[in-house]
A and B are shown apart, each in its own frame.
Chain A
């Protein structure tokens, strides 16, 4: 590549938001479902557990609902969707010259610290997303735009908690 690898600027947030809203609406209009992410990751976990211990999956109701007996946990629209999310993210990363190996972190912590916190934060997020029956996409965007009472309470709870915790986690990012 001969061009300089200067990343392109991000979209204007209102433009990005309008595109996101349009896509969310089209998804509902065509498929009756919104967008999601953590549900599909749940299915990936159940599929992995099935490879290692199918009997355990069969006998745990929560897991069996997705992958018990002859059910294939990966046979679900959301699994295709997250495959698309990865492809689309990569496409945008390549087009905007942002696809390169690096670690995003605050200026005052080491790469190792950042990776440990990313892992821990991911685990907390994954656990919370299943408890809430959806993540920022599935509860926040999809439930928010269909005006679900629970999704709006969820959104307020998540952001209130994040803004509160951020006070004590300043060193991670600032």
Chain B
């Protein structure tokens, strides 16, 4: 499932990939007229609204494709970089950039294209951008706490407004189409006729394209977001982790991890409360299978050296929880081989039967056996800490 893990490409391969993406981006920008400051500024005087049309069309087309492929399970939206929302600096930054846009006639990306085609004003703008960035970097400390204010993390229009992605896409598409018609109308009123699109039969190509877009969006209105277990079913590349027992760790490896100062252990016990109260491994927190979705944000943002180990009486609930967490995009998840029964068969005096003994929680000797007292046990080490490179977005 996309997006792909690019670590196999190596440094050279990934550089080549990003250069290729950049070349296409630069080509599209230049061919659409974004290398000409007069055309860019024309949008603000309603003489030429092509720039707004290109941008808005680009956003809508990409959005429709992203939501379509996510809803049929080809793309994992959770893995995409979504710009974090910093409410106030974002808005004020936007207001400042609007001034620069009109005064300078470009934005950073378009000025690069203009410079590449040897335009002096484009090159001067690039120099200006570098200067502005320099000044910002040197003075950012003066801007705190404003620069970090209104931090909301990864918020989409859908989650903010309580709408499904399909409804958001439909609304944005309608907004875009109204805008396109309105733009031509205003331009015609102020500056005379707008060149009509080429015709195919009775309709112009833009009209046909708009109709196609609407037809593509309608089914999205009825798509329910797939649940995480549905997602897991489609993540066939990860199923071998469970079936080939690559994530089921030996009790001895859990014990070693408990004593490893370099790792932060998050031990989640999925058994019902009475069983947990009777006995659990030291520092295990009780977690409910159904409550895991609500804990998603917390689990995604644990410190990077955290290893999550799931514990059940045997392995039933922990295997299910593994599937859920993996589908949510949580990393470094393992489960205890054989569960509490397996743990007690190694460190306890035989499996603890229900009703056995008092509810001592973690005050049993078996909750934290001493690793140095004859408990050395051969096992295959399975925990490999994966630190995902912090994704930085478009302009991060």
Which residues of A pack against B, CB within 8 Å? 10-14, 16-39, 41-42, 44-46, 49, 60-63, 76-78, 80-93, 96, 98-106, 111, 114-115, 117-166, 169-170, 172-174
Contact = CB atoms under 8 A, between A and B. Distances in A.
B29 A172 contact: no
A6 to B, nearest CB: 15
Contacts of A161: 94-99
Contacts of B106: 118, 121-122, 125
B18 A80 contact: yes
Interface stretch (B153-161, B229-237, B374-382): B153-161
A69 B98 CA distance: 36
Interface string B65-97: 110010000010101111111110111111111
Given A39-B396, A150-B84, A121 B117 contact: no
16 contacts: A10-B33, A10-B39, A22-B65, A30-B4, A31-B18, A37-B112, A84-B18, A92-B117, A99-B118, A124-B97, A135-B395, A142-B83, A146-B63, A146-B77, A158-B94, A162-B102
Interface stretch (B139-147, B248-256, B263-271, B274-282): B139-147
B199 to A, nearest CB: 13
Contacts of A37: 107-109, 112, 395
A130 B6 CA distance: 27
Contact of B124 (A91, A122, A135): A122
Contacts of B141: 60-62
A82 B2 contact: no
A158 B95 contact: yes
Nearest to A159: B98
- Please provide the 4 A-B residue pairs with the shortest distance between their CB atoms, ordered closest to farther: A121-B104, A84-B22, A122-B128, A17-B57
A31 B30 contact: no
A101 B27 CA distance: 18
Interface of B: 2-4, 6, 14-15, 17-33, 35-39, 41-42, 44-45, 49-51, 53-66, 69, 75, 77, 79-87, 89-122, 124-138, 140-141, 143, 147, 152, 154-160, 165, 168-169, 172, 197, 205-206, 209, 391-396
Contacts of B25: 20, 23, 35, 81, 84-85, 88, 137
Contacts of A130: 93, 132-133, 136-137, 140
A34 B21 CA distance: 10
Contacts of B17: 30-31
B57 A18 contact: yes
Contacts of A61: 141
A23 B17 CA distance: 13
A135 B109 contact: yes
Nearest to B44: A166
Nearest to B118: A101
Contact of B81 (A32, A101, A122, A150): A32
Contact of A13 (B53, B81, B83): B53
A165 B160 contact: no
A100 B41 CA distance: 20
Contacts of A77: 14, 18
A102 B119 contact: yes
Contacts of A13: 32, 49-51, 53-54, 57
Nearest to A168: B102
A56 to B, nearest CB: 9
B158 A147 contact: yes
A149 B104 contact: no
A98 to B, nearest CB: 5
A84 B233 CA distance: 38
Given A17-B56, A32-B3, A126-B136, A80 B130 contact: no
A20 B156 contact: no
- Counting chain A CB atoms within 10 Å of each CB, the highest count among B116, B132, B160 belongs to B132
A21 B61 CA distance: 5
Given A10-B31, A144-B59, A153-B94, A126 B103 contact: no
Contacts of A150: 83-87, 90, 152, 155
Contacts of A23: 21, 24-25, 28
A85 B21 CA distance: 8
Contacts of A25: 61-62, 65-66, 69
